[in-house]
Amino acid sequence: MRRILFYIAVAFIFSIGIGLVAYYYGPGYVLFSFNDLTVETSLLFALATLAISFILFYTLLRFLSISLKLPSWLGLQYSHNQAEKARNALIKGLIEMAEGRFDLAEKILLKQARHSKTGLLNYLIAARTAQQQGAYDRRDEYLRLAHETMPSADIAIGITQAELQIAQKQFEQALATLNHLSSIAPKHTYVKKLQARVYEHLADWDSLKQLLPALKKSQMLDTEKYEQLEKTTWFELLKQVIRNQQHVAIIDLWSHMPRSLRDNNDMLKAYVQYLMETEHASEAEGLIRQHLSHHWSNDFVKLYADLNTSNPKKLLETAETWLHQQQRNPVLLLSLGKLCIKNELWGKARTYFETSLSIKALPDACYQLATLLENRMEDPKLAQDYYKQGLALCVEENAKVSNQPASLPELVRFDDTAPLLKIIQ
C-alpha cells in the first residue's frame, strides 16, 4: 500500500512539473516518421501517451505474472488451510483426551491424521486413547500406521508401544519391544529405564543386575531410587541362590556384591543366617563381629548368641567386651546368658537373665531363665513364675501388634493354685 501511494505521489509531482513547463514554454512539438507514415502531435500529448502505454504494459505484465503464480498460490493456501485444520484437530483431540472423552478424541485425531504433517503425533495419541478404551487391536494398528507415516521415528513409536504395554501389564511383549529398541539404540537411556522397570516386574533380577551400571551412569533415576533398586536387586538375587542352596553361587554373589550392600543389615542378616544353617558358623562369627564393631544391632547380637562353634568360650569372651559400651542393653545381657549356658556357667547365666529382665521384661529372657531354673537349678516353683510372666508378655505383645486390648486368660494369673506350665518343644 505504501508503495502504491509513493508511485501516485511521484506521478502527481511529475504531472505538475510537465504542466508548469507547458504553461511557461508552450505545449512543444513532436514529429514521428516511419516510411510513408507521419505522426505530428504536441509534446504533452506524446508524453501522456507514453505514460499511459507504460502503465498498460506494466499492468499486463503483472496480470500475466499473477496468472502464472495463481496455481501455486492456491496450492499454498490449500496446504495452509489443511495445516490449520490439522493443528486445530490435534489441539481439540488432546483436550478431549484430557477430559476423558477418549472415543471422541480418537475420532478427531484420526480425521486429520492422513492430511497433516503431525500425522505421527495423531496416531501415537490415538493409540493411547484406544488403550484407554481397552481396544488393543486398534492401538496396535495406530502404531503401525504411525510407522508408515514416518519410518524414521522407530524409537519414538517403539517407546510409546512399550509404555502402553507396560501400563497394560503386558510385560513379556514390552520386553520384546524394548530389546528391539536396545538393538537399534544401545545407548538410549530412557529405553534402559523402561527395561529396568520390566525386569523388576518379571523378577528377572539377574538381567536387572547387568543393567544397573548403565542406569547409574545415565542418572535416569535419582540417588534414592537407584539405591533402593540396587538393594532390592541384590537382595532378591541373594534370596534366590540361598533358596536353591547353591553354595558356590552364594559365595560368588557375595564377593561381587558392592561393599555398601554387604554392610546392609537385611543383606548381611540373610547371608549370616545361611552360613549358620549350613555349618559355616566360623565365617558367620567373623562377619557378625566385624559388623557390630561399626554398626551396633540387637538383631546381630541375637544371632551371635545362636552361633554353634567349636569354641563357645571365645564367643562369650568377645560378647562380654561389648558390655563396655552397652551395659544397660537387655538384648546383649540376654545373649550373654545364652552363651553362658553353652559354656555350662549356670549361675552366671542366671545373673545375666535376671539383669536383663530388671532393665526390660523380654519374653525370651523369661523363657530362658525359667528353663534354666527348672532343668539346671532345681527351682520349678520360681520357674513357673517366669513361664507365666513370659506368656503374659507374649499375649501383650500380640495384642499390640493386632491393636487388640490385652486380655490375659486365668491360666497366667500369678497364684499358687494355677496349674503348672511346661514349654514343650
The alpha carbon of 119 is separated from its chain's Cα centroid by a whole number of angstroms, namely: 29
Residue 339 placed within a domain: yes
Q: Please give the residue range of the domain that contains residue 414.
A: 312-425
Residue 368 placed within a domain: yes
Match 535419582 to its residue by C-alpha cell.
222
Residue 46 placed within a domain: no
Match 496396535 to its residue by C-alpha cell.
140
| pLDDT, tens digit (0-9, with 9 covering 90-100), for 147-187 | 888 888 889 999 999 999 999 899 999 999 999 999 999 88
Q: Are residues 236 and 303 in the same domain?
A: yes
Q: What is the pTM of this model?
A: 0.69
For position 120, what pLDDT does the model report?
Answer: 82
For position 404, what pLDDT does the model report?
Answer: 57
Q: Are residues 320 and 280 in the same domain?
A: no
- CATH number at 416 reads 1.25.40.10
Residue 29 placed within a domain: no
390: helix, strand or coil: helix
Q: Are residues 319 and 417 in the same domain?
A: yes
Give the DSSP letter of residue 113: G
| pLDDT, tens digit (0-9, with 9 covering 90-100), for 112-159 | 777 667 788 888 888 889 888 888 888 888 888 888 888 888 899 999
Q: Are residues 316 and 391 in the same domain?
A: yes
Which of the residues in the chain have pLDDT under 70? 1, 3-4, 7-8, 10-12, 14-15, 17-32, 42-47, 70, 72-83, 86, 115-116, 401-425
Q: Are residues 341 and 396 in the same domain?
A: yes
For position 82, what pLDDT does the model report?
Answer: 58
Q: Are residues 302 and 375 in the same domain?
A: no
For position 414, what pLDDT does the model report?
Answer: 42
Residue 70 placed within a domain: no
Helices 363-375/346-359 angle, 10° precision: 150
37 phi and psi angles, rounded to 5 deg = -95, 130
* Range list of β-strands (E), 263-340: none
Which of 310, 327, 342 is the C-terminal boundary of a domain?
Answer: 310
For position 339, what pLDDT does the model report?
Answer: 95
Q: Are residues 351 and 422 in the same domain?
A: yes
Residue 349 placed within a domain: yes
Q: Are residues 344 and 331 in the same domain?
A: yes
Which of 310, 336, 352 is the C-terminal boundary of a domain?
Answer: 310
For position 406, what pLDDT does the model report?
Answer: 47
Which of 272, 287, 310 is the C-terminal boundary of a domain?
Answer: 310
Residue 323 placed within a domain: yes
Q: Are residues 252 and 237 in the same domain?
A: yes
Q: Are residues 355 and 295 in the same domain?
A: no
Residue 336 placed within a domain: yes
What is the number of domains present in the chain?
A: 2
Q: Are residues 276 and 356 in the same domain?
A: no
- What is the rounded distance in angstroms from the CA atom of residue 43 to the CA atom of residue 26? 9
Q: Are residues 415 and 380 in the same domain?
A: yes
Longest dimension (CA), the chain: 160
